[in-house]
Amino acid sequence: MTSESNGDGGSTGKAEQIKEARMLASRLQRAIDTGRSTLTKMREVDKLVSNRLITQTAYILKTIDNLRDRTQKSSKREKLNKIYLKLLDLFNEFKLMEDRGYGTMVRSSNIVDASRLDELIDVDTELLSTIALLYKLASKISVKKSISLNMCKEILCMIDDLLLALRRRYNIIGTVD
């Protein structure tokens, strides 16, 4: 990711995201089709996926933190604290993903386990889609400068889904924490 692609939805960021998505899709499709890839190429995929998740999660954390600071009602503040702590755990896990993922799919002689690779792509698609949805929600919350208790509960459910997806990811790559 370039510094211009910070998840803010700007046109330069969007163009860079599209370019990266095409490159990512091309590398992964080639690996699935041929059953071969290099460790370097798969580590670049890990870096792109991890960076995207980190960037968007950092924005969500900042939004929740700002909202938490402005919230007076204790029940809502408590929910926001819970959201913040769970997001922080996710953020830290996403930082570790760069070293644990697609690179583990490459065996000796650049052979790729295509079925595991396909499973990993499905899980990462779920992670990226859910984080993108949370990012959009955080953007709306940031503009409104408020959040309902129901929205807090919905966000917590989404975070729990992300944690389950991470667990599936670890099972696929063979490193359960």
Q: Where are the domains of the chain?
A: 11-173
Query: What confidence score (pLDDT) does residue 28 get?
Result: 86
The 3-state DSSP composition of the chain as helix, strand, coil percent (nearest 5) reads 80, 0, 15
User: Which residue(s) pair with 36 in the sheet?
Assistant: 111
Q: pTM of this prediction? A: 0.83
Question: What are 121-143's pLDDT values in tens digits?
Answer: 999 999 999 999 999 999 988 88
- The mean pLDDT of 93-113, rounded to a whole number, is 86
Question: What are 42-84's pLDDT values in tens digits?
Answer: 888 999 899 999 999 999 999 999 998 888 888 889 999 999 9
pLDDT level of residue 113 (50, 70, 90 thresholds): confident
Alpha helices (H) along 10-113 = 11-34, 39-70, 74-97
